């Protein structure tokens, strides 16, 4: 017998929404039509995911008029042109204010689709159906949508909360190993920033996760979503606590920016970024070693690619976490306890970046 789906709420004043996590939800008896605002919806996906899951999703939408479109694949399609393509499709479908846009796919599909939904008629409803681990534990929850600019990642976007996040963990069965591992980087992040106990659980259960054990994955996804939902409820627009979710990300974005988006997966860059952020943190070496070890045990990189330290530094200066021209980082007091700060050791930063004398 299938376990009952786990449902919990993201609490946002007036715009709270449920996250539903379970097996066999797509194509099963979950009534997605009941969550639409009107009768029409547009499902945005890509060819790979649509081939696998679109027919199943349509069974959850029996009472609705379903329009469809596919985007291209990969971080390179996260452009304003793709947003325009989704909006063109909405116009051609005569979509009105009561339409619902459904993102079926990974983070790229969700980010583009959510931003298009945010802009179309100044905001129509949308639903996230994430099919990658990264999207399930991170990008589909919290309402951040947007696309890249040649000058930086996610520079163009909106806060636009979904009506519902529907996570069918069975979709992970078809996820390539490399993407599963990339998703685990964000899972590890949640332990590091706010739950030492969950971090210990990850240290002991990494093999089960890599082996795609359904219960282990469901637990990791639920705990990740709970932590993210709690942070987002407290600070939707990233005025404070939400910045903690960017642990490792200032470095990661700089790496992605220097390599060109798409060379490394986002989660891979985050993995290295977390090792670098741990290196910049004033924690003891034993904790740094545990962090490196758990990231390595997930099959993720722990050292940056060959990039000149000066180039990485320049990329970080452009990063949107920079405020009033001063670099800020999320650092650790200890495993499970992160904080945002503009105070850090320049020497240690140079060392982490392999810059100048720092490279001993």
Let me know: does 220 contact 299? Beta carbons within 8 Å.
no
Query: Does residue 177 bind a second copy (CB under 8 A)?
Result: no
Our CB check for a second copy shows the closer of 107 and 304 to be: 107
Burial of 325-345, coded b for 16+ CB within 10 Å and e otherwise, reads: eebbbbbbeebbebebeeebe
**Separation between Cα atoms, residue 60 and residue 135, nearest integer Å:** 20
Based on the number of CB atoms within 10 Å of its own CB, is 359 exposed (0-12), middle (13-18) or buried (19 or more)? exposed
Phi, psi of 100 (to 5 degrees): -125, 130
Question: Does residue 35 carry a catalytic annotation?
Answer: no
Our CB check for a second copy shows the closer of 22 and 146 to be: 146
Our CB check for a second copy shows the closer of 23 and 153 to be: 153
CA-based R_g, the chain, Å: 20
Which one of 98, 215, 234, 289 is in contact with a second copy (CB under 8 A)? 98
**CB atoms inside a 10 Å sphere around CB 306:** 7
Based on the number of CB atoms within 10 Å of its own CB, is 207 exposed (0-12), middle (13-18) or buried (19 or more)? exposed
Query: Does residue 87 bind a second copy (CB under 8 A)?
Result: yes
| 83-91, 193-201, 210-218, 264-272 -> range binding a second copy (CB under 8 A) | 83-91
Would you give the binding string for a second copy spanning residues 31-50, x where CB under 8 A is met? -------xx-----------
Q: How far is the CB of 186 from a second copy (least distance, A)?
A: 19
Which one of 80, 200, 259, 302 is in contact with a second copy (CB under 8 A)? 80
- Catalytic pick among 4, 94, 122, 239: 122
Query: Does residue 313 bind a second copy (CB under 8 A)?
Result: no
**DSSP letters along 61-85, please?**
TTTSEEEEEEE-SSGGG-SHHHHHH
**DSSP letters along 259-282, please?**
H-TTSS-HHHHHHHHHHHHHHHSS
Question: Does residue 284 carry a catalytic annotation?
Answer: no
Question: Does residue 186 carry a catalytic annotation?
Answer: yes
Query: Does residue 303 bind a second copy (CB under 8 A)?
Result: no
SS3 247: coil
Question: Does residue 287 carry a catalytic annotation?
Answer: no
Query: Does residue 237 bind a second copy (CB under 8 A)?
Result: yes
N-terminal to C-terminal alpha carbon distance within the chain? 58
**Interface of this chain with a second copy, residues 103 to 142, rule: CB under 8 A:** 118-123
**Interface of this chain with a second copy, residues 320 to 349, rule: CB under 8 A:** 320, 322-325
Question: Does residue 246 carry a catalytic annotation?
Answer: yes
Question: Does residue 242 carry a catalytic annotation?
Answer: yes
Using CB under 8 A as the binding criterion, the count of chain residues that bind a second copy stands at 38
Residues annotated catalytic, as ranges:
122, 144, 186, 228, 238, 242, 246, 249, 253, 266
Binding site for a second copy (CB under 8 A): 38-39, 80, 84, 87-88, 91-92, 94, 96-98, 118-123, 144, 146, 149-152, 154-159, 237, 317-318, 320, 322-325
């Amino acid at each position: 017998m299938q376990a009952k789906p786990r449902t919990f709420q993201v609490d946002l004043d007036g715009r709270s929404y449920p996250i539903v996590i379970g097996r066999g939800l797509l194509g099963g008896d979950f009534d997605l039509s009941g969550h639409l605002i009107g009768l029409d919806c547009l499902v945005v996906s890509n060819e790979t995911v649509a081939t696998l899951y679109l027919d199943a999703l349509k069974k959850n939408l029996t009472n609705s008029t379903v329009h469809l479109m596919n985007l291209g694949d990969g971080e390179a399609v996260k452009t304003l042109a793709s947003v325009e393509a989704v909006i063109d499709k909405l116009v051609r479908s005569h979509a009105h204010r009561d339409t619902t846009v459904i993102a079926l796919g990974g983070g790229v599909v969700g980010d583009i689709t959510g931003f298009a939904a945010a802009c179309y008629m100044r905001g129509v409803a949308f639903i996230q159906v994430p099919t990658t681990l990264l999207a399930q534990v991170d990008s589909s929850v919290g309402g951040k949508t947007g696309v890249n600019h040649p000058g930086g990642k996610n520079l163009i976007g909106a806060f636009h909360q979904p009506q519902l996040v529907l996570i069918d963990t069975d979709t992970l069965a078809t996820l390539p190993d490399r993407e599963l591992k990339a998703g685990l980087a964000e899972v590890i992040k949640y332990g590091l920033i706010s739950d030492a106990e969950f971090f210990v659980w990850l240290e002991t259960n990494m093999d089960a996760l890599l082996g795609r054990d359904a219960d282990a994955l469901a637990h990791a996804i639920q705990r990740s979503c709970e932590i993210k939902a709690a942070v987002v409820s407290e600070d939707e627009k990233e005025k404070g606590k939400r910045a903690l979710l960017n642990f490792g990300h200032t470095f990661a974005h700089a790496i992605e920016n220097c390599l060109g988006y798409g060379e490394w997966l986002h989660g891979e860059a985050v993995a290295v970024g977390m090792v670098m952020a741990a290196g910049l943190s004033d924690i003891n070496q034993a904790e740094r070693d545990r962090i490196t070890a758990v990231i390595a045990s997930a099959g993720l990189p722990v050292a940056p690619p060959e990039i000149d330290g000066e180039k990485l530094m320049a990329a970080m200066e452009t990063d949107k976490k920079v405020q009033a021209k001063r670099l800020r980082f999320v650092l650790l007091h200890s495993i499970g306890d992160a904080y945002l700060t503009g105070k850090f050791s320049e020497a240690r930063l140079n060392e982490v970046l392999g810059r100048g004398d720092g490279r001993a």
